[in-house]
Structure 1
Amino acid sequence: MATTACKKGHVKINGATVKPSRDVYATDKIEVRKDQITRHLTVLDIPPSRVGAKLVDIYRVDTTPKENFEHLELLKFSKDHYRKKGMGRPTKKDRREIDEYLDDNLDDDESNS
């Protein structure tokens, strides 16, 4: 995933687009674009070996502005209202809700008989 992101230009180190093989050093500033949000990370130190996900925050600082996360929340709300209910083909989620509704009604009808 990281290689693909680098090749597409979604990863920058110190303001320059990088190749996947680029080494990362302490004090590097990394910008990663993912899910329509640009995250800003600062490398504090390089671990001597692989570390677990819980220990990653020891070696980096997330300096992403809060406005970026607020923008992401607004995008979520706009996606909900993109297609009005009853317009066009039902989505996969809509079909599942319809099937669930019909299954519940069939179970109720059988128990009443």
Structure 2
Amino acid sequence: MPVDHDIEKQRIDKWLWVARFFKTRSLASEAVERGRITLNGDRIKPAKQISSGDILIVRIESYSYEIKVLGLSGQRKSAMEAQKLYLETDTSREQRELLSARLKAQPPLFYNKGRPTKRDRRDIERFFTNQEDT
């Protein structure tokens, strides 16, 4: 993405939307207000101006991204071009991949596909009778 050289500062909520961390600017603004985004270690407001070289910590659900702002852009473009606006630290990427693998390895806490079938009911009964035996 050609970085706009005429932009020296940009609102954090707009940058997060342009860099495709959030689907809408209002979601980005809400995340900033809730304290899920920190700029150089400080809580900020959605209207805070950022510039190249700033360090952001972005927390989305269970994942945390530590990124360095490389450029600013006035338009939202493709994801490949948006990735050129920032650089994620190696430790952040490793921790995120480790967490992702750990979450995938865990079985879902509760999976409800409706009323149990006869086979499901038998499996449930077998499970509980085995639990009582031990």
Scaled to the shorter chain, the TM-score interval is 0.5 to 0.7
Whether the aligned pair in 2 keeps the contact of 1:37 and 1:69 (CA below 8 Å) is no
The letter for the 2-side match of 1:34 is I
- Tell me the residue number matched to 1:72: 100
Q: Mark the runs of 5 or more structure 1 residues left unpaired by the alignment.
A: 84-89, 99-113
User: Following TM superposition, by how much is the alpha carbon of 1:81 offset from its aligned partner in structure 2, in angstroms?
Assistant: 4.7
Aligned CA distance change for structure 1 residues 97 and 52 (closer, same or farther; 3 Å): farther
| Correspondence for 1:10 | 36
> How does 1:1-113 map onto structure 2 within 5 Å?
1-47=27-73, 49-53=74-78, 54-63=80-89, 64-78=92-106, 80-83=107-110, 91=112, 94-95=113-114
Q: Give the direction of change, closer, same or farther, for the CA distance of 1:73–1:96 in structure 2 (3 Å limit).
A: farther
Give a deviation string over 1:1-27, Cα, whole Å, max 9, x none.
111111111000111111111111000
Letter of the aligned partner of 1:22 in structure 2?
A: K
Consecutive unaligned residues in structure 2, runs of 5 or more: 1-26, 118-134
CA RMSD of aligned residues (A): 2.3
Task: Point out the structure with max Rg over C-alpha.
Answer: 1
In the superposition, the TM-score normalised over structure 2's length comes to: 0.56
Q: Aligned pair count?
A: 88
TM-score when scaled to structure 1? Answer: 0.65
Aligned to 1:65, what secondary structure does the other structure show? helix
